[in-house]
Amino acid sequence: MSAGSALFVNSDLSIPRFELTFRATRAGGPGGQHVNTSSTRVELLWSLGRSRAVSDEQRGRLREKLAERLDAQGNVRVVASAFRSQLRNRQDAEERLAALIRRALTVPKSRKKTRPSRSAVESRLRTKRKVSEKKKERRLQDLD
């Protein structure tokens, strides 16, 4: 697939553009007469369930991580209306979808259990004893 016919997500995944559905609508908010006549807001829909670009393992991970963003049909929806141009909003929506998928596919490093070294434990206990002795000395002086 060439770069123009696919949305590059990472080195392992690129989504064919024919799997992406775009819909242009009128953007809300201030902007005068121009905003009332032009459809610059872009909605991007990608069907995760029907996509052939992702493996079953990736699909499961994406379903789990993007559960909040999936609609009833299993579509991921991204809306872009930051720019006054439909083309720029379309590019922004594609970039945001790719970033969203990239973040969802990253597997966090598993945490290794660690123990403090013996010298670190002894140092901490020594410091605790010093503070305790200091407070004990203060109490004895207050009683006089």
Residue 48 lies in a domain: yes
Give the residue numbers spanning the domain of 11.
6-105
Query: Looking at the predicted structure, is the pLDDT value of residue 2 above 60?
Result: no
Is 93 in the same domain as 124? no
Contact between residue 98 and residue 9 where contact means Cβ atoms under 8 Å apart: yes
Question: Do 120 and 53 sit in the same domain of this protein?
Answer: no
Residue 111 maps to a domain: no
- Is residue 59, in this structure, part of any structural domain at all? yes
Domain count, the chain: 2
- CB contact at 8 A, 27 and 40: yes
pLDDT in tens, 12-24: 888 998 999 999 8
pTM over 0.85, yes/no: no
77: in domain: yes
